[in-house]
Every structure is written in C-alpha cells, then in structure tokens.
Amino acid sequence: MTTQPTPIVLDVDTGVDDACALLLAALHPALDLRAVSCVGGNAPVDDVVRNTLRVLETAGRTDVPVARGAERPLLATPVDARHVHGDDGMGDLGWPPARAAADPRHAVELLRDVCREAAAEGRPVTLVPLAPLTNIALLLRTHPDVAPGIAEIVFMGGAAAAGNATASAEFNVFHDPEAAAIALDAAADLGIPLTMYGLDVFYQPVVPAELADELVAVGGRGPAELGGSLIRFQNARFNRSASTMGDAGAVCVVIDRGGIHTEPLPLRVELAGHWSRGRTIVDRRDWSGDLAHDPHGEAPVRVDVALEVDGARYTRLWVDTLLGRVGER
C-alpha cells in the first residue's frame, strides 16, 4: 500500500464503472485527486460531464475541477454503450443533478495546466485514463512539455486475449483506435511508463449482491449508497448475483499495486484490420529466439500488461473505502 497520497488525475467517460472509480479516487486517503477530464465514450460527453459532477458532489469533492473534452473520436464514427450503462450513462438512478458547474477550460487545457503545476511542484501525477484515449492523445502530442508532470499512465483499455466491443477489440480502444495508438506512441516517445489494466483482469473484481445491499443500506444519498446502487443496476440489467466494479480496478492499482501481476510486453494497436480494428496486439513471444522472419519486428511501445489480479482484494479495498473503513483491517 502507498504511504503518502499519490497525486492522481482521472480521464473518464462516466459510465457506471467510471462512477465506481471516481468514488474510490475521491475518497481513498492514499490518493490526492487533482482533476477529472471528460470524453465521449460510454455516453455523450455532456452526459459524461453531468454524471461526473454528480459523483464528485456525492463524494463531497466539489473542489476537484471537472472539464469537458473531446466529444467524438479523432477519425472513427462515435458509438456509445448506453445499452450497458443506461440511457443517462449512469444507471438511470434518477439522482438530481449536481449544483457545481464544469471548469471553463477544455479538458486538454485542464490536463496541461495540472501536469505543468505538478512538474513545478516536483510531485508528478499518475494519469489514469478510464475511457477512449482521445483527450490523452491530444494532450501528449499538443503539449509534450507536460511529460515531466506525469509519473506514469495507468489506463483501462485493451486486452491481451479477447475483446468485448468485438471479438478482437476492447471498447475504449475500439471507440478511438487512432487516439490509442497515438497516446501510447507518444507516451513511449516521452518516456512515460505505461500500465495496461485490460479485459484480462477487468471482470475479476466483482461486488456480490449482499455487499451492494450493505452499501445501499447506509443511505443518505452518500457515496456508499451510490456505489451499491450502481452494482444493483448492473445485477438487474444482466440478471447477475454479482457485478464487476470495472474501471475502479485501475484506481486500485495506484493504491495497491501488489494486487496485480504484470509483464512488460511489446504492444501495437491494430488500425487497419477488417475483423481486428482496435485490437491491442500484445506480443507474448520469447524474443530471445530467432524471429527474423517477422517483417514487423518488435513493437516500439512496451507496456506493463496486467495479466492476473487478486479480485477479492480489490473488491474489499473498494467496499471498505466507500464504507469509511480504510485502515480498520
């Protein structure tokens, strides 16, 4: 576990599981949430901003600036995932809108300013994108001087094995594969370490119905009730007895990296394949052998890919945080 608060910035497309991640980042004492940038993905970007402000107000964190970013992919046709997240993008819970307003800056400007300030302070932020990487691609290519202000990027996206948006591609990368390729290439160019929390581990930290009920029972329209209600929504929508906390697992990585096993592996994003567009091609071959017949060679981007996770450990971390029990166990 970390011993000092880690400066952290989230990039989101809130989203049921983004909301779970926001609650954790806003409440856990090991994290110093500096800002949240929004991008179109699970829902249209204006819905994302509204949902994000709602979550942060519920968590008592109206001090955290929230900015509207890219409303569509760089090249691809926009899609959303309201069939998963509800018509409003956050479980159709009917909670009232937040009183707070978004920051007037564009998300890329907010990210730029926060990273520059972090560099000046000598406390670089951990950037945690939980959404299509459109804002991050724009940031790193437009303002490469922010690199000293970024300690690492821990992103939810991609997969070493199967996809979910298609048989090959995970949704965040599928939504804007050009942005994913640009963002990862730019991070490698700028020397920013990368960790991929992808579908290989995404579904394993699950919250059982009884724990969701315990959270909801806290009441008061607070973070525990919201988190439990989001899990209940997923259970009802997909007829399950337990549901993933999804993107919150990537935030758990920042708090407790011992909960995952990663391997540094070469990675490319497929941009042209008819069946495989948006696939993260994770190269798990043994490069000590003779692979000279491969015309592509080794990918220039190397990422710490999460391949195993202690799901129960991360679930407990999330639930304890929402119940205010961190440090009791």
The pLDDT tens digits for 50-77 are 999 999 999 999 999 999 999 999 998 8
The mean-pLDDT minimum among 8-17, 46-55, 76-85, 193-202 falls in 76-85
pLDDT of residue 290: 59
Rounded Cα gap, residues 138 and 131, in angstroms: 14
Under 8 Å between Cβ of 7 and 39:
no
Under 8 Å between Cβ of 72 and 78:
yes
Decide: helix, strand or coil at residue 301.
Answer: strand
Q: How confident is the model at residue 288 (pLDDT cuts 50, 70, 90)?
A: low
Chain CA centroid to CA 251, Å:
7
Contacts within 8 Å (CB) and 24+ apart, 214-217: 214/319, 214/323, 215/319, 215/322, 215/323
pLDDT of residue 311: 97
Looking at the domain assignment, is residue 121 inside a domain? yes
Looking at the domain assignment, is residue 234 inside a domain? yes
Q: What is the mean pLDDT of residues 5-34?
A: 97
Looking at the domain assignment, is residue 212 inside a domain? yes
Q: How confident is the model at residue 260 (pLDDT cuts 50, 70, 90)?
A: very high
Q: How confident is the model at residue 1 (pLDDT cuts 50, 70, 90)?
A: very low
The domain tally of the chain equals 1
- Cα–Cα nearest to 143, from 178, 172, 176, 183: 183
**CATH code at 138?**
3.90.245.10
Angle at alpha carbon of residue 25, lines to 116 and 175, rounded to 5°:
75
Looking at the domain assignment, is residue 1 inside a domain? no
Looking at the domain assignment, is residue 327 inside a domain? no
Looking at the domain assignment, is residue 294 inside a domain? yes
Flag whether pLDDT at 327 surpasses 80: no
Q: What is the mean pLDDT of residues 257-271?
A: 96
Look up the domain containing 154 and give its range: 6-322
Q: How much is the pTM?
A: 0.95
Looking at the domain assignment, is residue 259 inside a domain? yes
Looking at the domain assignment, is residue 329 inside a domain? no
The mean-pLDDT minimum among 93-102, 149-158, 197-206, 311-320 falls in 93-102
